[in-house]
Amino acid sequence: MSEVERNKGRLIPTGIDTEHFTDDDWDDMYSEGMVCIDGELYTVEWEVKSEIDYDFAEVKENDDGSIDFHTMHYNSCHWSEVVEHKLNERK
């Protein structure tokens, strides 16, 4: 059964070119604490990870290219999809 989940942290751009990544590469990157959002690969620094809570999303793009995020959402989707959606709302 899905529940509402809370995640908070910072995404730090890695500068790694992902153009020729395979599905196995993506699995390895995720297991190493990285995530891809809008084609950019980030390292995740967690403050809160997968805590059960209520529903909202705060996303802030910083001057250095990092992204601060704080999400609480129904975990039928991945937290990175919530961050990506919030970023795309601003475009």
Where along the chain do its domains lie?
A: 4-89
pLDDT of residue 89: 80
Q: How far apart are CA 8 and CA 10, in angstroms?
A: 7
What percent of the chain clears pLDDT 70, i.e. is strictly above it?
85
- 24's enclosing H/E stretch is helix 23-31
- Are the CB atoms for 72 and 54 separated by under 8 Å? yes
User: How far apart, in whole angstroms, are the C-alpha atoms of residue 49 and residue 64?
Assistant: 23
Tell me the three state secondary structure of residue 33: coil
Q: How far apart, in whole angstroms, are the C-alpha atoms of residue 8 and residue 71? A: 6
Highest mean pLDDT among 8-22, 43-57, 74-88: 8-22
- Assessment of whether the complete model's pTM goes beyond 0.75: no
- In this predicted structure, the answer to whether residue 46 has a pLDDT above a threshold of 70 is yes
The three-state secondary structure class of 30 is helix
Residue 53 has pLDDT above 60, yes or no: no
Distances (CA, A) of 30 to 36, 62, 89: 9, 23, 25
